[in-house]
Amino acid sequence: MSPHSTLVDEMKAIQHQILSLEERERKLAADYGMVGNIDSVEVFDEAKRRAFAKLGPSFEDNLRAMNQLMLLRLQLAQLRH
């Protein structure tokens, strides 16, 4: 397998993970009353606010998911350059 195909496969795997997390991001945005275009930073900030307010373990899970989404987006951007 060539290095190029390995890179392409890695990028596809990351994109697949991102798509799954973006669905969760859209759901959270709706839950948070955010309408229109989703601002990922606002969704992350609200997830963080709720997690640090100790509203329950699901809020911590949401924050972890949004953090993972951010990290995967950064990783994908780095692989593209």
Report the domain count for the chain.
1
CB within 8 A of 53, min separation 6: which ones? 59
Instruction: Give the pLDDT of residue 69.
Output: 98
Alpha helices in the chain (DSSP H): 3-31, 40-52, 57-80
Q: Provide the greatest CA pair distance for the chain.
A: 48
Q: What is the pTM of this model?
A: 0.87
Tens of pLDDT along the chain (81 residues) come to 566 779 999 999 999 999 999 999 999 999 999 988 999 999 999 999 999 998 888 999 999 999 999 999 999 999 998
Q: Which residue segment(s) compose the domain that 39 sits in? A: 3-80
Task: Give the model's pLDDT for residue 35.
Answer: 87
Q: Tell me how far apart the alpha carbons of residues 40 and 10 are, in angstroms, rounded to a whole number.
A: 23
